[in-house]
């Protein structure tokens, strides 16, 4: 049943007509738990609240299915506004973004132009930018963009997904760039031809790449809500005498906030992934797909309305 629900919500996440409807009607039916409003001021308010709890933030201006240059440029403009707001208030925050929202599906020229604009602004305001990883069909393109930008900018990282067979090879290839990587299990529905279908295999590969990246001496963001992975990392860094300055934990806004505060209280860098914007639908569906408990929360919220 759990797998059926996951597949159902992942299917819905790619529905363009429903995405348009969601943009029109705003954050309803529980999405506000996972999305910090639709504007930069609302996002800034959330960042400040989290910073006061000793939680770092990575801010993501949500956007999917961008298929024209004008919209991609607009998305980049708004990302720059977010960077400027972070810099102005000296917030403990970074920026995350998807290449498709910057024009990846349009042309290399468009996506590179927008990314250079964003990274120049981020460098000016001392803000780090992470390029989110999307589905398998865009994996190589995203890595290629990252490599090109890394030659020009130090303030850029990307994401590697443990559920893909290609992941270890990708990390070996990227190691010469000394990359700052966010390591995740993966949240898209992929074919068993390209991704591990069984959770236990994904978990083992996740542990493998965490160890691999840390022992290579690279900064590592372990993005997980899984206590087993958190404990594995804690034991590994203790055994290998790895400094807390070389890694951080990351979790999603609205999920396990008590655990987030606990890890921060133990002296770990705990970064909360905070999405905002009106293009929240696809992101929200993937959060529902990840955990059945999220669905129960949303249903409870609807009943109370």
Name the pLDDT band for 255 (thresholds 50, 70, 90).
confident
Catalytic member of 6, 60, 170, 182: 182
Residue pair 294/288 in contact (Cβ under 8 Å)? The answer is yes
pLDDT at 29 over 80: no
Catalytic member of 60, 105, 132, 203: 132
Of 45, 135, 134, 147, nearest in space to 93 by CA? 45
pLDDT per residue as tens digits for the range 209-232: 999 999 999 999 999 999 999 999
Reduce the DSSP state of residue 219 to 3 states and report it.
coil
**Higher pLDDT residue, 305 or 185?**
185
**Residues 172, 139, 287, 102: what is their CA dihedral angle, to the nearest 10 degrees?**
120
Range from 55-64, 172-181, 223-232 carrying the lowest mean pLDDT: 55-64
Per the listing, tokens 């999603």 go with: 252
Domains of the chain in start order, with CATH, are 36-157+165-176+243-279 (3.20.20.220)
Q: Is 132 a catalytic residue?
A: yes
């Amino acid at each position: 049943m759990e797998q059926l629900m996951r597949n159902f919500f992942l299917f819905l996440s790619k529905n363009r007509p429903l995405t348009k409807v969601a943009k029109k009607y705003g954050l309803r039916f529980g999405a506000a738990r996972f999305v910090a409003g639709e504007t930069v001021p609302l996002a800034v308010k959330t960042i400040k609240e989290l910073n006061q709890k000793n939680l770092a933030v990575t801010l993501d201006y949500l956007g999917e299915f961008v298929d024209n240059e004008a919209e991609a440029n607009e998305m980049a403009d708004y990302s720059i506004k977010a960077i400027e707001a972070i810099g102005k208030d000296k917030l403990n925050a970074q920026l995350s973004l998807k290449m498709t929202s910057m024009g990846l599906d349009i042309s290399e020229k468009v996506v590179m132009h927008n990314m250079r604009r964003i990274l120049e602004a981020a460098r000016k305001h001392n803000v780090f930018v992470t390029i989110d990883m999307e589905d398998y069909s865009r994996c190589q393109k995203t890595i290629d963009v990252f490599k090109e930008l890394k030659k020009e900018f130090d303030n850029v990282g990307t994401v590697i997904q443990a559920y893909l067979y290609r992941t270890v090879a990708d990390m070996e290839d990227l190691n010469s760039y000394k990359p700052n990587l966010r390591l995740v299990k993966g949240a898209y529905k992929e074919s068993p031809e390209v991704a591990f279908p069984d959770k236990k295999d994904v978990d083992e590969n996740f542990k493998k790449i965490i160890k691999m990246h840390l022992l290579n001496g690279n900064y590592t963001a372990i993005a997980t809500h899984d206590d087993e992975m958190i404990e594995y990392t804690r034991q590994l860094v203790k055994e290998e005498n790895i400094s807390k300055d070389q890694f951080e934990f990351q979790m999603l806004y609205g999920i396990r906030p008590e655990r987030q505060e606990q890890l921060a209280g133990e002296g770990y860098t705990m970064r909360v992934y905070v999405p905002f914007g009106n293009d929240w639908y696809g992101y929200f569906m993937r959060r529902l797909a990840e955990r059945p408990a999220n669905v129960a929360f949303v249903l409870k919220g609807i009943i109370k309305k």
